[in-house]
Amino acid sequence: MISIKSSREIELMKATSALAAKTLEYIEPFVVPGVSTEEINKLCHDFITEHGAYPSPLNYHGFPKSVCTSLNEVICHGIPDKNDILKDGDILNIDVTTYLNKFHGDTNKTFLVGNVSPEVKKLVEVTYQCMRAGIASVVPGGHIGDIGAAIQEIAHANGYSVVEDYCGHGIGREFHEAPQIVHVGKKGTGPEMKPGMTFTIEPMINLGQKDGKLLKDGWTVVTRDKKWSAQFEHTILVTPTGHEILTLRQEESL
Ligand code: MF3
Ligand code: CO
Ligand code: CO
């Protein structure tokens, strides 16, 4: 069952989502060569808790940290570690989820660390475009499959693959709710989008093949071919006329 949020619930979704977005804005100047992903975790944890919220990943099904930090060939769910030190040319995805006033807000961004190769920089830029194209397809009366169709068109036109093993999701009182948002698809398929639905769109796009492999830590997902992967995520509200990006940052435009 896909929950429809009331106007009161939508206000609370806006508040938690805005805090998640603010956390990504706050952390940006710290994402530089020499910093460890554990330091980034600690800074995000403190920022979130100082704003009266709880970092949703912490202890979620046993996840040991407050944010996910996914470096280079890591597709998603990387675990912050004091021994993972950022170096020039890396790409780092930081995935922040906040729990504020009983509602979750979920967003992530792939940061460029110093000077990144043109090939990888293009991957990151196209991945952002993929997410925005998925978001642009959100309108009441549309179908969830429209999102994946829009994303895969851009990814494949650029010679990239789209990860299928991990998806976007409904979000609200629960971190992960129905429906699943698959990032490939066919227009006109899947559940109908209705005003008051809230879900994430979070495509993971790979330079090489789509297949991932889970590491022995039980969380970190890396590409099988070791080629690099990028991701962006926003929490979206379906409005009566279209959609609203609840986790929009100041650096982004509408
Ligand atoms: N924030 C991730 C998502 O976008 C989920 C992380 S689950 C965790 O859905 F346990 F790894 F934190
Ligand atoms: Co998510
Ligand atoms: Co997330």
Here the CATH number for the domain that contains residue 34 is 3.90.230.10
Residues having C-beta closer than 5 Å to ion ligand 3:
95, 106, 108, 233
57 C-beta closer than 6 A to ligand 1 = yes
Please enumerate in sequence order all residues whose Cβ is within 8 A of that of 247, keeping only pairs 6 or more positions apart, or say none. Answer: 17, 18, 20, 21, 105, 106, 107, 233, 234, 235
Domain count, the chain: 1
- Structural domain of 111: 7-245
Mean pLDDT of 209-236: 99
pLDDT digits (tens, 9 = 90+) for 156-191: 999 999 999 999 999 999 999 999 999 999 999 999
Give burial (CB, 10 Å; 0-12/13-18/19+) of 65: buried
Ligand 1 center from residue 87 Cα (angstroms): 24
Q: Is this model's pTM higher than 0.95 or not?
A: yes
Cα–Cα distance list, 246 to 88, 164, 192, 235 (Å): 32, 24, 20, 6
pLDDT digits (tens, 9 = 90+) for 46-67: 999 999 999 999 999 999 999 9
Ligand 1 center from residue 68 Cα (angstroms): 7
pLDDT digits (tens, 9 = 90+) for 70-107: 999 999 999 999 999 999 999 999 999 999 999 999 99
Q: Among 60, 67, 70, 183, which residue has the most ligand 1 atoms within 8 Å of its CB, making it the best to mutate? A: 60
Assigned domain for 74 exists: yes
Displacement of CA 232 from its chain's centroid (Å)? 5
Assigned domain for 252 exists: no
**Distance, CA of 50 to CA of 60 (rounded, Å):** 20
Assigned domain for 253 exists: no
Helix (H) or strand (E) holding 96: strand 91-100
Helix (H) or strand (E) holding 132: helix 118-136
Assigned domain for 44 exists: yes
77 C-beta closer than 6 A to ligand 1 = yes
Ligand 3 center from residue 64 Cα (angstroms): 15
In DSSP terms, which residues pair with 91 in a beta bridge?
112
Assigned domain for 21 exists: yes
